[in-house]
């Protein structure tokens, strides 16, 4: 058996989001995420992510943004989106959180946090360790 650790949340249904126009035209996919040129990103049922990171509280107005942000960072780590698009992924997080009702001040802190601390999370090769047991 092989498994990974570190995920807190798992989708119980497919979920689609309309992204900002910044990634328009880019199409990519992996086993769990599909991004189409129209700017839609689709997460399949069963997709797991770690939710909001850092010194923060996991609130309802943070969950959708963290899902999309984690998915975009995963696509960057896998080389399916150029690393230069990280700042756009961070802005997408901010926009979704604001649309979800997060306060302006908190959303500014969230954006500053991912801009300052997110580089490592988006680096190619920064993947979760796979453990194996008999």
- The domain spans of the chain are 8-123
Per-residue pLDDT tens for 109-126?
A: 999 999 998 888 888 877
Q: Which residues of the chain have pLDDT under 70?
A: 21-24
Pairing of strands 33-35, 28-29: antiparallel
| Cβ 22 vs Cβ 88: under 8 Å | yes
Name the pTM for this structure: 0.89
Per-residue pLDDT tens for 88-106?
A: 999 999 999 999 999 999 9
Alpha-carbon distances, residue 37 vs 33, 54, 62, 74, 127 (angstroms): 13, 31, 25, 18, 26
């Amino acid at each position: 058996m092989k498994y990974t650790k570190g995920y807190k949340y798992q989708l119980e249904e497919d979920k689609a989001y309309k992204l900002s126009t910044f990634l328009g035209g880019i199409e990519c996919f992996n086993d769990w995420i599909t991004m189409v040129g129209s700017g839609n990103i689709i997460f399949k049922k069963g997709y797991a992510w770690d939710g909001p990171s850092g010194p923060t509280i996991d609130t309802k107005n943070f969950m959708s943004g963290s899902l999309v942000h984690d998915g975009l960072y995963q696509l960057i780590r896998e080389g399916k989106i150029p690393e230069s698009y990280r700042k756009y992924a961070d802005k997408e997080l901010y926009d979704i959180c604001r649309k979800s009702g997060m306060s302006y001040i908190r959303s500014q802190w969230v954006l500053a946090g991912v801009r300052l601390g997110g580089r490592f999370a988006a680096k190619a090769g920064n993947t979760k360790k796979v453990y194996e047991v008999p």
